[in-house]
Structure 1
Amino acid sequence: MDPVTTPAPPSTLTDEDASQLRLLSIFHYVVAAITALFSLIPVLHLVMGLAMATGKLPMEAGNSGTQAVDPRLFGWLFVAFAGVFIACGLTLAGFMAYAGRCLRQRRRYTLCLVVAAISCMMMPVGTVLGVFTLIVLMRPSVKAAFA
């Protein structure tokens, strides 16, 4: 006796939904590249902070009567803040590019939702992309298409 197999449910994803997911995927790649580019702006601060911390950029401590802060410490603060900003920006850009890939493959629904919500904070381009991504991902047919 042959085992009874149930046919797989037909895909309920319409051509319009598939087209919109494909476009959103492309736009995620573009916004990820823009985010990566803008997150590298603090490299100037990083270089200047390293120059202050190593003594290549001469800075004189003020004589205001109070105990002066070492200028090298100020340089390391520049390095720390610039490094954190660059690392966070590149991490966000990486997640946005990965979310674009997941949208194309219709995988990792929750990750795509979270990245879309986070990208809403990056005005104006990220906000538009995030809102449209959330609108498309909330459709029941699109949610069912994700494995």
Structure 2
Amino acid sequence: MNPPPVPSATPPHMHHVPTRDRDVEHLKTLALFHFIVAGIAAVGLAVTATHYVIMKSILGSRVQMVTSPSGEELAIVTPMPPLMKWAYVFAIALLIAGITLNGLSGWFLLKGRHRGFSLTTAAFNCVQFPIGTILGVFTFIVLNRPTVRLKYYAANAPHLPLA
């Protein structure tokens, strides 16, 4: 009688997947999710800009009637508070940065270029809890694999011999 087979630690669907193919698939998946996060930031930009326009119309159209010392009635329009304007400017700048960084990082991941840029974008994404954090952590994991690092090295320095 033969003993029962020992189960493998590798899932059955992964037995015949070479490391290079797995790395390429993971890089494509990361690129797709970077594009998705850029799209989410674009929607956030549209919502924030719309919210700004609505708040400016509400807060900027308040008219107060004030009586001057001479007894005249004056209408004063109160503007949007400056701190509120700067909060919108800051939010919009962050969203534009998110769109730009994630869009470029997705493109670079597809092309196998600028690994450092994608790692920097991953650090930026980690601050955006929870989706950006997950994307940033997985980007760090995939881009720091030795096989992926070698792929970037070979693509970016073809004239240098591999050790």
Q: Does the pair score TM above 0.5? A: yes
2:78 alignment partner AA: P
Give me the whole-angstrom Cα distance separating, in 2, the residues matched to 1:111 and 1:32. 15
Q: Secondary structure at the match of 2:124?
A: helix
> 2:115 aligned with 1:109, yes or no?
yes
SS of 1:133's partner is helix
Pick the aligned partner of 2:95 from 72, 89, 109. 89
SS state at 2:116 partner: helix
How many corresponding residue pairs?
A: 125
Please show how residues 1-147 of structure 1 align to structure 2 within 5 Å: 14-51=20-57, 55=60, 57-60=61-64, 71-72=78-79, 74=81, 76-146=82-152, 147=156
Q: List alignment gaps of at least 5 residues for structure 2.
A: 1-18, 67-76, 157-163
Paired residues of 2:34 and 2:103 also in contact (CA < 8 A): yes
TM-score by length of 1: 0.73
Give, in whole Å, the separation in 2 of the partners of 1:77 and 1:60. 21
Native 8 Å contact 2:56 2:80 kept in 1:
no
Structure with the higher strand share, 1 or 2:
2
TM-score (norm 2): 0.67
Structure with higher RCO (Cα < 8 A, 6+ apart): 1
Query: In structure 2, do the counterparts of structure 1 residues 92 and 126 end up closer, same or farther at CA, with 3 Å as the change threshold?
Result: same
Based on CA coordinates, which of the two structures has the bigger radius of gyration? 2
RMSD over equivalenced CA pairs, Å: 2.4
Q: Secondary structure at the residue paired with 1:42?
A: helix
Flag structure 1 segments of 5+ consecutive residues without an equivalent: 1-12, 63-69
Deviation, structure 1 residue 15: 0.7
What is the aligned-residue identity percentage? 30
